Amino acid sequence: MDHAFTIGRLSKESGVKVQTIRYYEEIGMMPLAMRSEGNQRLYGDAEIARLKFIRHARDLGFGLPAIRELLELGDAPEAPCAHADEIAKRQLRDVEEKIEQLTGLQTELTRMVKQCNHGQISDCRVIEILSDHDNCLEESHGGRAHVKS
C-alpha cells in the first residue's frame, strides 16, 4: 500500500486503459495524481478501486455525471445529508428501474435459450417480445437514462 506505482500498472490492475485514465483525470473523474521526479503520474491502491468502480458503473450503463455523483457519496461521507440523500434516492430509482427492465429481458432470453434446443430458430421471438413491451417504454424521464438531457 505504500509504494506508489505508475499509470501502466494502474491500468493493468483496474482494467482501464492508460489513455482513459488520463482522460478521466482531465475531466476530473480522477484526482490529479502526484508526479515523480520525471513527471510521471504516481498512484496508490485507492485509485485502483476507484477505477474499477467507474468501469463497472459504465458497464452497467451509468453516464459519467451519474458516476461522478456516486463517487461524491464516497468522497464526502461526512457531508451533510440533504444533498447526498437526494442523489442516493435518485440513483436508487434509476438502479431499480434498470433491474426491472433487465429482469424482463432475462426472462425472455431464458425462454429463448430454452426454445432454441438445437433445432431451428423458426420461432425465435426476441424481437417480437421486446418490441411489444409497450408498458416499459414510456418512461417518466424521457427514456434513456443518460447524461445529457
Partner DNA sequence: GCTAATCTCTACAGTCTCTGGAGCTATTTG
Partner DNA sequence: CAAATAGCTCCAGAGACTGTAGAGATTAGC
Interface residues with DNA (CB under 7 A)? 6-9, 11, 17-20, 22-24, 27, 33, 36-41, 58, 63-65, 144, 146-148
Q: To the nearest whole angstrom, how small is the minimum distance from the Cβ of residue 7 to DNA?
A: 4
d(CA 50, CA 71): 8
d(CA 67, CA 72): 9
1 binds its own copies (CB under 8 A): no
d(CA 95, CA 98): 5
d(CA 15, CA 48): 9
113 binds its own copies (CB under 8 A): yes
27 binds its own copies (CB under 8 A): no
d(CA 21, CA 30): 8
Extract the C-alpha cell encoding 111. 425462454
If we measure between CA atoms, which residue out of 71, 77, 73, 72 comes closest to residue 57? Answer: 71
Among 25, 44, 63, 68, binds its own copies (CB under 8 A): 63
Residue with smaller CB distance to DNA, 65 or 74: 65
50 binds its own copies (CB under 8 A): yes
Q: To the nearest whole angstrom, how small is the minimum distance from the Cβ of residue 93 to DNA?
A: 19
Residue 9 near which of its own copies, DNA, none (CB within 5-8 Å, type-dependent)? DNA
